[in-house]
Every structure is written in structure tokens, then in C-alpha cells.
Amino acid sequence: MFDQSVLERVNPVFNTAKMTIFQLAAAGNQDAAAIANKLGLSFEQTQNSSSTKASPEQILAGMIMMETRYRTTIAMAEQTGFSTLIDLPCGYTPRSIELARKGKRYVGLDLPAAIAEAEPAIMSLIGEDQRSLVKYAGVDATNYSSMKNALEDAEGPVCITTEGLLMYFTDSEAGALCDNIRQVLKEKGGCWIIADPETALQYILTIQPICGERFMDVMKNSHQATQDKSDVKVGGSSLIVNPRGDVTANIKNAMMFLAGHGLKAERLIISDYLPELVSLSKITGEQAKAIRLNMAKCAYWKITPAEIGRAIDTEDLKAQSFDVKASLEAGRLSLRITGRVDTLTAPHLLTLFERVKTEVKSVIVDCSQLDYISSAGLRVLLIMQKNCAEGVTLMDVNHVVLEILEQTGFDSILNLLK
């Protein structure tokens, strides 16, 4: 068994969960306060970082965000009526305590380092007659075997909730997580409720009414504190909606990323589920009103497996260094290309497109196994782009192919989910 300090150094992201549990406790959640006390957490340890000191506005916004996220996702999950809630990552949340009181099954999944600390502290706060309803397991969310073993005895259908995970993932990690969750939902039934895609937008809409003219300074400080505690680049995944620029287009891109992994999303507007919040009593009535109105502008997502599209026979299009799998659903042509698309193999790809182009509105190409694309291959993508109302999207593009796209200017012609 590894020493706890080794686990922390390998993956320090879980330390951000200590920040959020303290914020939830400060918002008035007694169970969170009991957990923070069990763990001996302090304000300085959880809110300040190595290079920043939390501002009063950050503290207020953090409390409101955490209470909103915690209580709203529970409301959404309970509305599904599913028998088991799977919390990924569970961090140090008191959700298991609350659901056990209600007689509901709960499975908390997180990094082994977090589980090693959280499980004994939280289980000690749950009555003996309710402990059989709660299970904790250390997992790697990008490793399906890890997930499957942890959920082997979970009763379906299930509701998986995710808060604060995807913002620390790369696209390859996010894609692996999507594939794993889709497999779990296919086996057990249910849905995935995720707060992450519009988290940055929600935070901005929460903190703006509090900060006023200090908004930019506070945002910069807040981002740096999160970055310090996580030790990884924050918000780099295509599933995280960038609040800058065209938010509608960025939401569409995130949903395209999901579609590329066989998932579809429904936006659940936060204000439609928002209960009364204790934390809003800590700011002015005008600020609280503005935040509530702003919550009508952002959403958490309810995600389910997409219907399996019509598979397209591509057996005759295989070549020595090329293969393509294709399916068509609701006007979207999904392609997974393996190998090279060059002068010899580009005609195979064009032949496939010509067979179905009258039915195609958009094309999404999984490039995770694409080794190389030549000018001939790019020409085929351009033909697709010109013949599709909604264009061509490339996802999981590796650095070799990305360099080719950038050198030829195709990175500005096609939609890239890197």
C-alpha cells in the first residue's frame, strides 16, 4: 500500500475538494461542517493557495456556487427516481450522509488518496443502520476496469453525478470518461448529470453581482488559486464551455464532443431547480436577486447514451494502411478513421461520403487513430465541408495531424475539438 503523501504527490487535484467542502460548510451545511471538523480542515488551508489569498468576494461566490451545485444536483438526481446515485468524484461531500438518511443507495468514487481520507471520516457520521446503503471506492475514472469493478454490485438504473472533474481533464481523458460512463449506462440504465460544462459561465454569473468593478481582479485571483491547488491546466477540455466569445457555439461544440462518444445531452436550466439558499442571505437582496436571475442563463446537463445510428458497410473500402467505421444518425455522419488518408486512400473516404451525402447534414470525424492526412485527404474533407449544412468537425486530433492542419490553414476551415 502506498504512503498517503505519495498518492497526493502523484495526483494533487483532489486537494481542490477540500476547498469546496469548506465552502459548503461555510454556507451553512451542518454535515459538511462535521466532515471538515473530522478532517481538521482550516480556512487558510482550504481557501488560500501557495501564491494567492482568497478575497471576500471569492469566499462569498465560492459558498454560493458550492451550495447551488450541491443542492441543485441532488434535486435533479432525486427527480430521476433512479435507485442508486453514483458520485464521481465524490470528494468529501456530505451527499452520502443526506441520501442515507432518506434510505437511498449511494456509491462514492474518487482517487484513492481522497477515498482514504474521506471514507472513514464520513462513515463515522452515518448511523450504523444506514451504512449498508453507502459504498466508497478508489478509481481511475479513465480506466473502465476500475469503474466496472467498483460498480459491480450497484443496482440499476443509476444516476451518475459529476461536479468539478472535467475542468482538470485533457480531451483524451474526457473522452475516456465519456466512453466509460456510456458503457455503465448501457449496462445498468439511467443518466449522467454533470455540472462541469457550464461551470465557468455559472461562476462568472455568480460573482459578477458581488464584485462590481473588482470583477476582473477577483476572477484572476480565483483562477490562480484553483490552478495552484490542482497543479494541472484548468478548463482545457472541449467539454468545458468557454464563456468568452460565442457561448451558443461553444455549447454546440461541447455537445458535438459528447456525440462523438455516443452520448447526447439535455440542458437543465439551473433556476428551474434552484431551492432556497442559505448562502444568499449573506449578500444584499439586490445581489441575491441578480444571481437568481442569472441562473436562468446557465445549465447543468443530463446526459444519456445516444441512439445507435445506422451502420454503413465499409468493408469494401479497407486498404492496407486505411480503415474507416461509419454510422449515420439524424443527418450526422460519424466516422472513425484508422491509419493514413493519402493519395492512395483518400478516394476510399470520398466514395463513402458520396454514397450517403444526400442524407448528411454534418460530419464528425474521430481522429484518435488517424496517423497522417495528405493534401488529397484534406481535399476530401473540404468536399464534405462544402456539401454539409453544418460542416465537418474533427475530434481527438493528435499533434502530427494538427500540425498539418495548421500549416495548410485547415484549422480555421474545419471545426476542431482538440
Q: Does domain 4-305 have CATH number 3.40.50.150?
A: yes
Out of 51-55, 69-73, 169-173, give the one with best mean pLDDT.
69-73
Output the pLDDT for position 45: 54
Indicate the average pLDDT of the chain.
Answer: 87
Assign residue 262 a region: left if phi > 0, alpha if psi is -120 to 50, beta otherwise? left
Q: What is the pLDDT of residues 354-382, one digit of tens each?
A: 999 999 999 999 998 999 999 999 999 99
Residue type, 368: S
Q: What is the DSSP string of 136-175?
A: EEE--TT-HHHHHHHTTTPPSSEEEEE-SSGGG--HHHHH
Q: What is the pLDDT of residues 177-229, one digit of tens each?
A: 999 999 999 999 999 999 999 998 998 999 889 887 776 766 666 665 555 54
Residue type, 315: E
Backbone angles phi, psi at 103, to 5 degrees: 80, 25
Where do you find CATH 3.30.750.24 in the chain? 310-417
Q: What is the pLDDT of residues 276-324, one digit of tens each?
A: 999 999 999 999 999 999 999 999 999 999 877 788 999 999 998 999 9
Q: What is the pLDDT of residues 225-284, one digit of tens each?
A: 555 545 555 556 889 998 888 899 899 889 988 988 889 999 999 999 999 999 999 999
Convert 370-395 to b/e letters by CB count within 10 Å (16 or more is b).
bbebeebbbebbebbbeebebbbbbb
CA 77 – CA 60 distance, rounded (Å): 26
The residue behind cell 468593478 is 213
Q: What is the pLDDT of residues 104-144, one digit of tens each?
A: 999 999 988 889 989 999 999 999 999 999 999 999 999 99
Number of neighbours of residue 234 by Cβ within 10 angstroms: 17
Band (1; pLDDT cuts 50, 70, 90)? very low
Where do you find CATH 3.40.50.150 in the chain? 4-305
CA 138 – CA 164 distance, rounded (Å): 17
CATH fit for domain 310-417, picks 3.30.750.24, 3.90.850.10, 3.40.50.620, 3.50.50.60: 3.30.750.24
Evaluate if residue 10 carries a pLDDT over 60: no
- By the 8 A CB rule, do 244 and 30 touch? no
Distances (CA, A) of 390 to 328, 330, 357, 381, 387: 14, 12, 13, 13, 9
